[in-house]
């Protein structure tokens, strides 16, 4: 099975993150940039499917030059190769334009299965799998907590508010996964060394046949008008329990009319 995994480099969600003051885009220059955590689960799932059914795993990333670090990190887990869509004109692309670019890249990769994380930790927009499915005319099975591959038939368990749904489709298809689906492997030393030699193909917008004015800030379908830091919450009263902590807590809740 030919599997493509979408990997995004994002600012570390465990640290302070900002928007740039000049063009209101995500400040990636000053951030510690890492693989979107959710994508590691998609990579692991791809490797498990390859181990069980054979095939090839390709990482697909759209991002600036520095995303190369995340691509190598992804490859160190075990995928065979990577494709990096990189072009200065992409800076500031909205989700709609991003889906246009990724769909064009996927169009060249002939994937049976596209895997991705359910959301990126920077935007948390959750729209990419269905945008891509809409453009490519393939099924999107989103929010999988379990994925079964049987020949060309895919079955996922999809978490819902009320329980779960069992959803099926045939390949080619896009599946997004939650972090409950598996436990991603750590790259081995051998994997890290091997990753340095794995092929990484770069594609420009011209290679994909997408015009520069369809993407980036110029082609954005939405715009950030302004942004500001939310005033940090300040801690209120803190008491140490000396036998009446529970009562004190309820007294506070009563003054706030919760009890």
What residues numbered 42-71 form the site for another protein, per CB under 8 A?
Answer: none
Q: Which residues contact 136 (CB under 8 A, 6 or more apart)?
A: 103, 106, 107, 172, 174
Contact with another protein (CB under 8 A) among 25, 68, 126, 204: 126
Buried b or exposed e, range 58-71, using 16+ CB within 10 angstroms: bbbbbbbeebbebb
CB nearer to another protein: give 25 or 68: 25
129/79 Cα distance (integer angstroms): 21
Residue 259 is a binding residue for another protein (CB under 8 A): yes
Please work out the total of residues on this chain that contact another protein, with binding judged by CB under 8 A.
87
Q: Any idea what DSSP says for residue 213?
A: G
Identify which of residues 38 and 106 has a Cβ nearer to another protein in the complex. 38
Q: Which of 152, 130, 153 is nearest to 143 (CA)?
A: 130
Q: Which of residues 207-236 bind another protein (CB under 8 A)?
A: 220-230, 232-236
The end-to-end CA distance of the chain, in Å, is 58
Q: Which is nearer to another protein, 144 or 203 (CB)?
A: 144
Helix (H) or strand (E) holding 81: strand 81-85
Check residue 153 for interaction with another protein (CB under 8 A).
Answer: no
The least CB distance from residue 201 to another protein, in Å, is: 26
**The two structure tokens encoding residue 9:** 């480099």
Near another protein by CB under 8 A: residue from 148, 165, 188, 206: 165
Site string for another protein, 79-118 (x = CB under 8 A): ---------------xxx--x-------------------
Contact region with another protein (CB under 8 A), list: 63-71, 131-139, 188-196, 200-208: 131-139
By CB under 8 A, tell whether 167 contacts another protein: yes
| Nearest distance from C-beta of residue 109 to another protein, angstroms | 19
Residue 33, interface with another protein (CB under 8 A)? no
Residue closer to another protein by CB (options 186, 225) is 225
Could you say whether residue 18 binds another protein (CB under 8 A)?
A: yes
How would you class 213 by CB atoms within 10 Å of its CB: exposed for 0-12, middle for 13-18, buried for 19 or more? exposed
Whole-angstrom distance, CA of residue 145 vs CA of residue 60: 22
Residue with tokens 């990333």: 61
- Give the closest residue to 88 by CA, choosing from 221, 218, 226, 224: 218
Query: Which range binds another protein by CB under 8 A, 56-64, 65-73, 125-133, 194-202?
Result: 125-133
Residue pointed to by tokens 């015009």:
211
Site for another protein in 183-212 (CB under 8 A): none
């Amino acid at each position: 099975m030919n599997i493509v995994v979408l990997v995004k480099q994002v600012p570390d969600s465990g640290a302070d993150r900002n928007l740039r003051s000049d063009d209101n885009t995500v400040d990636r220059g000053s951030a510690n940039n890492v693989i979107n955590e959710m994508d590691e689960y998609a990579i692991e799932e791809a490797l498990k499917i390859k181990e069980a059914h054979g095939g090839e795993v390709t990482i697909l990333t759209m991002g600036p030059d520095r995303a190369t670090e995340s691509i190598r990190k992804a490859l160190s887990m075990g995928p065979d190769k990577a494709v990096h869509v990189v072009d200065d004109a992409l800076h500031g692309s909205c989700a709609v334009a991003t889906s246009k670019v990724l769909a064009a890249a996927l169009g060249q990769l002939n994937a049976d299965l596209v895997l991705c994380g359910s959301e990126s930790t920077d935007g948390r927009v959750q729209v990419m799998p269905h945008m891509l499915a809409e453009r490519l005319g393939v099924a999107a099975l989103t929010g999988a907590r379990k994925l079964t591959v049987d020949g060309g038939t895919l079955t996922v368990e999809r978490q819902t508010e009320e329980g779960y749904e069992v959803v099926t489709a045939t390949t080619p298809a896009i599946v997004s996964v939650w972090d409950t689906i598996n436990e991603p492997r750590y790259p081995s030393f051998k994997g890290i060394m091997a990753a340095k030699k794995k092929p990484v193909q770069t594609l420009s917008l011209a290679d994909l046949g997408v015009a520069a004015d369809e993407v980036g800030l110029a082609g954005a379908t939405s715009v950030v008008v302004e942004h500001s830091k939310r005033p940090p919450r300040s801690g209120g009263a803190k008491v140490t329990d000396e036998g009446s902590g529970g009562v004190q807590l309820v007294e506070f809740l009563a003054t706030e009319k919760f009890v």
